Chain A
Amino acid sequence: MTALLEVEDLRTSFKVESGRFQAVDGIDLRLEAGRTLGVVGESGCGKSVTALSIMGLVASPPGEVAAAKIRFEGRDLLALSADAMRDLRGDRLAMIFQEPMTSLNPAFTVGDQIAEAIQRHRGLDRAAAWARAVEMLRRVHIPAAEARAHDYPHKLSGGMRQRVMIAMALALDPKLLIADEPTTALDVTVQAQILDLLRRLRAESGMAILIITHDLGVIAELADDVTVMYAGKVVERAPVEALFEAPQHPYTIGLLGSIPRLEREQARLDAIEGVVPNPLSPPAGCRFHPRCPFAEARCREAEPGLGPVGPSHFAACWRTPLP
């Protein structure tokens, strides 16, 4: 089966004063139609830059996106002209962001901001686009949608604004929704509602979701497959059950150890010692070795490749068992 989205050897870097900062350093992603792929990692691991690279939203300069392949619906996005990419964006390929408070324009009504995308891509007249915008607000369960469409963003709560963002992203029935930390800025109860909404909309529309988060709870709720990123690289890739049951990379094990669990008595949570390496001068060998409790001599010298550790399960660690 051909994948909806295939990313091979994506490298995104930014020019900074002291040189080039390699935010994403050769990652591969594959997502089939209707499936949900979770990308997980700490702040600064390159997961958001990965999303922006796929969307073609990395500003250049200072950014530079290179890849062996970014294919979406069989089309090579890197070869597309800026205009063709613009036609795709917001239509077949949509994105929602982490900060619903700042991601909506304060100067326009929410109805206007949804309708303008519809007008842009479908060429509908104002009234038809507005009607569609109201219908979308209803689909994301915003009460009194007709009235709310005339509201400015500052009148809505964070959860309501994220619903508006989702309505805007899904207004044109995209095949792929990229959700970058969609629940991070929200209260816990609202987080659950938004995840629930995303699940329901995914079932209704059959879209695929690329969800980017630092929160393994979100991954467990939504994802079919998981890619774990560390310092610009993929360190583990697995179906969601396999990842939670038998994580192979020490970093993934560390991430799972820092989640509180009800069924286990724990005096304190395990934290991963140390901090994310400086991306301007990553450590030699495995990038995780300075923080890894299992690190040995060869980890400091050579970088391990992503190797199979089980069915559809890969990890980049010298110590994982060979199949």
Chain B
Amino acid sequence: MMTFLVRRLAIILPTLVFVSFIIFGLQQLLPGDPALAMAGEERDPDAIAHIRKTLRLDEPIAMRYAYWMAGVVQGDLGISLRIQKPVGELVLQKLPVTLQLAAMAMLVALLIGIPMGMLSAVKNGSAWDYGANVIALWGLSTPNFWLGIMMILLFSVELGWLPASGYVPPAEGLGANLAAMVMPAFVLGNAIAAVMMRHTRSAMLQVLSSDYVRTARAKGLYERAVIGKHAWRNASIPVITLGALEFGQLLSGAVLTEQVFSIPGFGKLIVDAVFNRDYAVVQGVVLCTASAYILLNFLADIAYMLVNPRLRS
């Protein structure tokens, strides 16, 4: 068990180094020159040269990578070229927003996807099953931005129940915060719920036809124990994988949904940064989300071990 965890931990560092190469390398391929972007309309050659010098843009790529990494390992992600603020500060500012949105969307996805998947597997071939599949197909094929706009039209414009957009920090009122977040969370969660439902359904169908489920029934166990204990424990493994991946996806920012609801999260931060050639911000945000992704996968591995005793020995 410990060797499994240690092995998993041991590959995290090389993975992160590799990710940093990719982030830094791809960044260099982006068209445009930050020095030009910053120099403004005048394009004074002296000013451009000065900017190049201070940003070390005239040095070889390997050196620039080394400077960047030296800062990163000390917790310094660099300075935003555009707003002249430390990237670390920007990330910390947006992180709670994105984290809250991702957590709420995940909650929506789990609460809808898993029970619906279980129901449609248990009632395989029935009206429940077809109904759940239709809802899942709808969730999969509805674009997030469209659903977002429709919800704004219904709940904000027509009914006036919820604010159409904007973000309120929880410190300024939890009710207002939740009211602002519930629609974007539902929009994001709805699409993931559909995928969750399909995966839960197929995993449950497979497990329900297994010999040990028959054994559980032969013992005279109630169906809730057969389904909830014997079947679900084994069917949850692929669902955990999917959950970790989807959560990582959410953390990297929901660009369209944040745009529609004007939520100031990672998605908005990174889009603004890319348009403005704000290298340091793009690198910093992508590195943070990649790290979060890797961490989530590690947590999923731990969850596997808790669920699957064969991995523990």
The one of A87, A91, A105 that contacts B215, using a Cβ cutoff of 8 Å: A105
Is A103 a contact of B211 with CB atoms below 8 Å?
A: yes
Is A121 a contact of B214 with CB atoms below 8 Å?
A: no
Using Cβ atoms and an 8 Å threshold, which residues of chain A touch B212? 102-106
Is B233 a contact of A107 with CB atoms below 8 Å?
A: yes
Is A88 a contact of B220 with CB atoms below 8 Å?
A: yes
Using Cβ atoms and an 8 Å threshold, which residues of chain B touch A108? 229-230, 233
Per the 8 Å Cβ criterion, residues 157-195 of A in contact with B are 165, 168-169
Is A106 a contact of B214 with CB atoms below 8 Å?
A: no
Q: How far is the CB of A308 from chain B (nearest CB, A)?
A: 36
Is B214 a contact of A57 with CB atoms below 8 Å?
A: yes
Chain A, Cβ-Cβ closest to B210:
A102
Instruction: Tell me if B216 is interfacial: C-beta within 8 Å of chain A.
Output: yes
Instruction: Tell me if A197 is interfacial: C-beta within 8 Å of chain B.
Output: no
Which DSSP category, helix, strand, loop or mixed, fits chain B's interface? helix
Using Cβ atoms and an 8 Å threshold, which residues of chain A touch B230? 105, 107-108
A77 to B309, CA, bound (A): 38
Q: How far is the CB of A211 from chain B (nearest CB, A)?
A: 16
Is A89 a contact of B125 with CB atoms below 8 Å?
A: no
Is A165 a contact of B215 with CB atoms below 8 Å?
A: yes
The one of A61, A89, A104 that contacts B220, using a Cβ cutoff of 8 Å: A89
Query: Do A105 and B218 form a contact, CB below 8 Å, given A97-B211, A152-B309, A154-B309?
Result: no
Instruction: Tell me if B221 is interfacial: C-beta within 8 Å of chain A.
Output: yes
Q: Among the interface residues A87, A107, A165, which one has the most CB atoms of the partner chain B within 10 A?
A: A107
A116 to B309, CA, bound (A): 18
Is B214 a contact of A97 with CB atoms below 8 Å?
A: yes
Instruction: Tell me if B7 is interfacial: C-beta within 8 Å of chain A.
Output: no
Using Cβ atoms and an 8 Å threshold, which residues of chain A touch B275? none
Using Cβ atoms and an 8 Å threshold, which residues of chain A touch B64? none
Is B221 a contact of A95 with CB atoms below 8 Å?
A: no
Using Cβ atoms and an 8 Å threshold, which residues of chain A touch B218? 55, 57, 89-90, 94-95, 97, 169
Instruction: Tell me if B16 is interfacial: C-beta within 8 Å of chain A.
Output: no
Q: How far is the CB of B54 from chain A (nearest CB, A)?
A: 59
Chain A, Cβ-Cβ closest to B313:
A155
The one of B210, B220, B233, B310 that contacts A121, using a Cβ cutoff of 8 Å: B220
Instruction: Tell me if B52 is interfacial: C-beta within 8 Å of chain A.
Output: no
Using Cβ atoms and an 8 Å threshold, which residues of chain B touch A61? 125
Q: How far is the CB of B37 from chain A (nearest CB, A)?
A: 56
Is A86 a contact of B222 with CB atoms below 8 Å?
A: yes
Instruction: Tell me if B142 is interfacial: C-beta within 8 Å of chain A.
Output: no
The one of A91, A106, A109, A169 that contacts B234, using a Cβ cutoff of 8 Å: A106
A to B contact number (C-beta, < 8 Å) = 79
Task: Give the size category of B's interface with A.
Answer: 20 to 34
Using Cβ atoms and an 8 Å threshold, which residues of chain A touch B234? 105-107
Per the 8 Å Cβ criterion, residues 216-246 of B in contact with A are 216-222, 225, 229-230, 233-234
Using Cβ atoms and an 8 Å threshold, which residues of chain B touch A155? 313
Using Cβ atoms and an 8 Å threshold, which residues of chain B touch A117? 219-221
A57 to B218, CA, bound (A): 7
Is A90 a contact of B310 with CB atoms below 8 Å?
A: no
Instruction: Tell me if B308 is interfacial: C-beta within 8 Å of chain A.
Output: yes
Is A89 a contact of B217 with CB atoms below 8 Å?
A: yes
A86 to B216, CA, bound (A): 11
Using Cβ atoms and an 8 Å threshold, which residues of chain A touch B216? 105
A86 to B310, CA, bound (A): 31
The one of B215, B222, B225, B308 that contacts A107, using a Cβ cutoff of 8 Å: B308
Per the 8 Å Cβ criterion, residues 38-77 of A in contact with B are 55, 57, 61
A117 to B211, CA, bound (A): 16
Instruction: Tell me if B162 is interfacial: C-beta within 8 Å of chain A.
Output: no
Using Cβ atoms and an 8 Å threshold, which residues of chain B touch A102? 210-212
Q: How far is the CB of A112 from chain B (nearest CB, A)?
A: 10
The one of B221, B308, B313 that contacts A116, using a Cβ cutoff of 8 Å: B221
Instruction: Tell me if A99 is interfacial: C-beta within 8 Å of chain B.
Output: yes
Instruction: Tell me if B36 is interfacial: C-beta within 8 Å of chain A.
Output: no
Is B219 a contact of A89 with CB atoms below 8 Å?
A: yes
Instruction: Tell me if B307 is interfacial: C-beta within 8 Å of chain A.
Output: yes
A102 to B230, CA, bound (A): 13
Using Cβ atoms and an 8 Å threshold, which residues of chain A touch B217? 57, 89
Is B310 a contact of A106 with CB atoms below 8 Å?
A: yes
Q: How far is the CB of A133 from chain B (nearest CB, A)?
A: 12
Instruction: Tell me if A120 is interfacial: C-beta within 8 Å of chain B.
Output: yes
Using Cβ atoms and an 8 Å threshold, which residues of chain A touch B308? 106-107
The one of B215, B220, B309 that contacts A103, using a Cβ cutoff of 8 Å: B215
Query: Do A154 and B310 form a contact, CB below 8 Å, given A55-B218, A116-B221, A168-B219?
Result: yes
Per the 8 Å Cβ criterion, residues 29-84 of B in contact with A are none
Per the 8 Å Cβ criterion, residues 271-313 of B in contact with A are 307-310, 313
Per the 8 Å Cβ criterion, residues 143-194 of B in contact with A are none
Using Cβ atoms and an 8 Å threshold, which residues of chain A touch B309? 106-107, 109, 152, 154
Is B125 a contact of A120 with CB atoms below 8 Å?
A: no
Is B215 a contact of A116 with CB atoms below 8 Å?
A: no
Chain B, Cβ-Cβ closest to A94:
B218
A to B CB contacts below 8 Å, 15 in the list: A57-B217, A61-B125, A86-B220, A86-B222, A89-B219, A95-B218, A97-B211, A102-B212, A105-B233, A107-B230, A107-B309, A117-B220, A152-B310, A154-B313, A155-B313
Given contacts A55-B218, A61-B125, A107-B233, 9 further A-B contacts (CB under 8 A): A89-B217, A103-B212, A105-B230, A106-B212, A106-B234, A106-B308, A107-B234, A107-B308, A117-B220
Top 3 A-B pairs ranked by shortest CB distance?
A90-B220, A90-B219, A89-B220
